[in-house]
Chains A and B, each alone.
Chain A
């Protein structure tokens, strides 16, 4: 690697030629504030719009200050990050942003976790020397999942980069020009009229509250305090390896027991685990796969656990709409089971049950509102909140999370397996399915549980697993851009697989749009992934078809997996949609 010699604040160092001033400063341990810039290494996403001018530094013999994030180094460059001129320019950049920004920080959804706010504090802004007209746009609350508040947008265009480059959905773009520039969909349509998958990739990278999830916390409080309602909560696998971060714990801390305790303290009547639904999903999906393999059904079969992915295929690949599994997603299956099996068993009117899902996901909010998933005239899942929203509720309720004891989930819908835990990471759903398919079809080596060839963090992976004399070819993609790549290869016949797992979020649900903000540190997602596999190992039962409560449910109520009743209650259909 070719190196160049530069000095930063009189400190000499050698750095690779392709570095920017910002890369070099980070290596030298010198902090240059940034705002629009975002480098997510593992996702190969770099936002280099250089629009905010917050990273200005002085370069000797150049008349103008240079944006560190977008200026390449060169031999002999002398940079100063702490000259009065640079400091003033940076503060001015922030003041300019603030001059066209609402000042309602105290009641802002991003209060104390806003990058603009931290920057104003870091740069010691005490006064805004500019005043002018402030933008005044409508709040876009058209969708069930994402709220767009253009007044808080600083036009960094990170969202556009995430939506276009990582997810290839192409929903967001800069529109108009000059002072009237906004970031929005084609024709500046309300979000709900677009092909937005509600994956939340844009929400996860927005530095301010310009893009946030719809806040459903008030609805949960209302349900919890409504004496007529029997309120059941379920929590997704990925919550237990991330929630701790909101309470100052190390990324990758497993908080399953405290999570169950915390939900009970909030007053839920039953505290259940979506993992149960995941085990049911495997019973159905594994049967469906075997059925398709044996009866010459449509292959490859694609997993359908991820609603953003389902919406993506509906809008972007309507011609491939018959390849996903017809299984509902685990939390929706779980909601159905609560309102049928559980309600019947406990003699509760399903109309009085409220099911709340705690999800790492923004898209599940929109999914829960899909009418074709509704049961009679009530939704399977009534309210979806994200990991972040649960964190907010716990704080609001004054629960000292750290000091909570470890508790178990309630039964009979609380027993779970290692297979269902790994649903939270890329590679996990398909490994869980393979564990069961393998055990059902293979006559020997029945102790085989781990299929490590399916694990990893690479965006696109494949593996071949011999099962009962047949080589089962498996493809895995996470991030919708990778999914697009895989689908295009299938469409053109370049690749063929028997089964494919797709998750919309980078890393899978552990990197979901509703998880605690990572603030550009993508190591966090890897730590959550390691925690998921640790949790899997700690489970006595690690295969879905060995979950006793699940088997009991089938015996007492559902009948055969993939049977008639299961079809009616646990499966759904998809519809091609217009792409905008």
Chain B
């Protein structure tokens, strides 16, 4: 487990954050049952903020009457949730069985090297976030790489450069 560092905010970010918190609070207010709603609220939080920074997790904890540890426990349990900011573009490489057999790991290695990050990380310039995901249901196209909503099938390592250039 990694230790999460606090991120400094500037003023503009704080104003924006204020609106985001309001949206999150509205979502929480309209819940009929607060108990057991944690996962829903985390989903919403991630949708609004793009990721779940520490302050948002603590905010959710207070709002639902849970401990920060409990909330972080759930965030760290599911791969889907992330407490690190996402890059502008999200690259998902499918590592399901079909894609794996067809060399998804080679694609991953290639991209890790190119972007100088590990799976799960974000490039220094904040442009790309690289993730490994489970079967995306397009096994016929294996190996599959997705950049945001765009799906690329039967990708060869040599084509990655070209794909990145399109984004």
A172 at interface by CB-CB < 8 Å? yes
A176 at interface by CB-CB < 8 Å? yes
Interface string of B69-81 (1 = CB under 8 A from A): 1111100110000
A186 near B66 (CB under 8 angstroms)? no
Set of chain B residues within 8 Å of A414, measured between Cβ atoms: none
Most-contacted residue by chain A among B2, B4, B69 (CB, 10 A): B69
Set of chain A residues within 8 Å of B57, measured between Cβ atoms: 186-187
> What separation, in Å, do the CA atoms of A186 and B75 have in the docked complex?
10
CB distance from A146 to the nearest CB of B (A): 15
The segment out of A177-185, A345-353, A417-425, A451-459 that lies at the interface is A177-185
User: Known contacts A187-B4, A188-B4: does B76 contact A170 (CB below 8 Å)?
Assistant: no
CB distance from B7 to the nearest CB of A (A): 12
Set of chain B residues within 8 Å of A190, measured between Cβ atoms: 3
B70 near A182 (CB under 8 angstroms)? no
6 examples of A-B residue contacts, CB within 8 angstroms: A170-B67, A173-B70, A175-B72, A175-B76, A182-B1, A580-B58
A171 near B69 (CB under 8 angstroms)? yes
B1 near A188 (CB under 8 angstroms)? yes
Interface of A is mostly: loop
B3 near A186 (CB under 8 angstroms)? no
User: What 3 A-B pairs have minimum CB-CB distances, sorted nearest first?
Assistant: A170-B67, A186-B68, A173-B69
**Closest Cβ neighbor of B71 among chain A residues:** A186
B44 at interface by CB-CB < 8 Å? no
19 further A-B contacts with Cβ under 8 Å, apart from A175-B1, A187-B3, are A164-B67, A170-B67, A170-B68, A171-B67, A173-B67, A175-B69, A175-B76, A176-B1, A177-B76, A177-B77, A180-B1, A182-B1, A184-B1, A185-B69, A186-B54, A186-B61, A187-B83, A188-B1, A188-B3
Interface string of B35-71 (1 = CB under 8 A from A): 0000000000000000000100110010000111111
A184 near B77 (CB under 8 angstroms)? no
A187 near B70 (CB under 8 angstroms)? no
> What separation, in Å, do the CA atoms of A137 and B2 have in the docked complex?
10
A266 at interface by CB-CB < 8 Å? no
Set of chain A residues within 8 Å of B66, measured between Cβ atoms: 170
**Closest Cβ neighbor of A580 among chain B residues:** B68
A174 near B73 (CB under 8 angstroms)? yes
**Closest Cβ neighbor of A190 among chain B residues:** B3
B70 near A189 (CB under 8 angstroms)? no
Inter-chain contact total with CB atoms closer than 8 Å: 63
CB distance from B121 to the nearest CB of A (A): 17
Interface string of A181-213 (1 = CB under 8 A from B): 010111111100000000000000000000000
Please count how many residues in chain B sit with their CB below 8 Å of the partner chain's CB atoms.
19
- In-complex Cβ contact of B76 among A176, A189, A579, A580 (8 A): A176
User: Known contacts A186-B58, A190-B3: does B72 contact A170 (CB below 8 Å)?
Assistant: no
B67 near A186 (CB under 8 angstroms)? yes
Set of chain B residues within 8 Å of A189, measured between Cβ atoms: 3-4
Chain A's interface size range is 20 to 34
> What separation, in Å, do the CA atoms of A573 and B3 have in the docked complex?
32
**Closest Cβ neighbor of A169 among chain B residues:** B67
> What separation, in Å, do the CA atoms of A188 and B73 have in the docked complex?
9
Interface string of B88-117 (1 = CB under 8 A from A): 000000000000000000000000000000
CB distance from B22 to the nearest CB of A (A): 22
Set of chain A residues within 8 Å of B73, measured between Cβ atoms: 173-175
> What separation, in Å, do the CA atoms of A188 and B72 have in the docked complex?
8
Set of chain B residues within 8 Å of A175, measured between Cβ atoms: 1, 69, 72-73, 76-77
**Closest Cβ neighbor of B62 among chain A residues:** A579
**Closest Cβ neighbor of B54 among chain A residues:** A187
B1 near A170 (CB under 8 angstroms)? no
> What separation, in Å, do the CA atoms of A320 and B76 have in the docked complex?
33
> What separation, in Å, do the CA atoms of A185 and B69 have in the docked complex?
5
> What separation, in Å, do the CA atoms of A180 and B1 have in the docked complex?
7
> What separation, in Å, do the CA atoms of A358 and B57 have in the docked complex?
40
> What separation, in Å, do the CA atoms of A279 and B76 have in the docked complex?
49
A187 near B77 (CB under 8 angstroms)? no
Set of chain A residues within 8 Å of B3, measured between Cβ atoms: 187-190
A186 near B1 (CB under 8 angstroms)? no
Set of chain A residues within 8 Å of B2, measured between Cβ atoms: 188
CB distance from B5 to the nearest CB of A (A): 9
Identify which of residues 1-41 in chain B touch chain A, using a CB-to-CB cut-off of 8 Å: 1-4
**Closest Cβ neighbor of B66 among chain A residues:** A170
A173 near B1 (CB under 8 angstroms)? no
**Closest Cβ neighbor of A138 among chain B residues:** B3
> What separation, in Å, do the CA atoms of A579 and B57 have in the docked complex?
12
Set of chain B residues within 8 Å of A184, measured between Cβ atoms: 1, 69
CB distance from B41 to the nearest CB of A (A): 16
A170 near B77 (CB under 8 angstroms)? no
CB distance from B83 to the nearest CB of A (A): 8
CB distance from B49 to the nearest CB of A (A): 16
Set of chain A residues within 8 Å of B68, measured between Cβ atoms: 170, 185-187, 579-580
Identify which of residues 495-529 in chain A touch chain B, using a CB-to-CB cut-off of 8 Å: none
Set of chain B residues within 8 Å of A185, measured between Cβ atoms: 68-69
Set of chain B residues within 8 Å of A182, measured between Cβ atoms: 1
> What separation, in Å, do the CA atoms of A190 and B68 have in the docked complex?
14
> What separation, in Å, do the CA atoms of A174 and B70 have in the docked complex?
8
CB distance from B43 to the nearest CB of A (A): 18
Interface string of A558-580 (1 = CB under 8 A from B): 00000000000000000000011
CB distance from B65 to the nearest CB of A (A): 10
Set of chain A residues within 8 Å of B54, measured between Cβ atoms: 186-187
> What separation, in Å, do the CA atoms of A185 and B61 have in the docked complex?
13
Set of chain B residues within 8 Å of A164, measured between Cβ atoms: 67, 70
**Closest Cβ neighbor of A177 among chain B residues:** B77
> What separation, in Å, do the CA atoms of A580 and B71 have in the docked complex?
11
**Closest Cβ neighbor of A137 among chain B residues:** B1
**Closest Cβ neighbor of A578 among chain B residues:** B58
> What separation, in Å, do the CA atoms of A20 and B68 have in the docked complex?
33
> What separation, in Å, do the CA atoms of A185 and B68 have in the docked complex?
8
User: Known contacts A164-B67, A175-B1, A176-B1: does B77 contact A186 (CB below 8 Å)?
Assistant: no
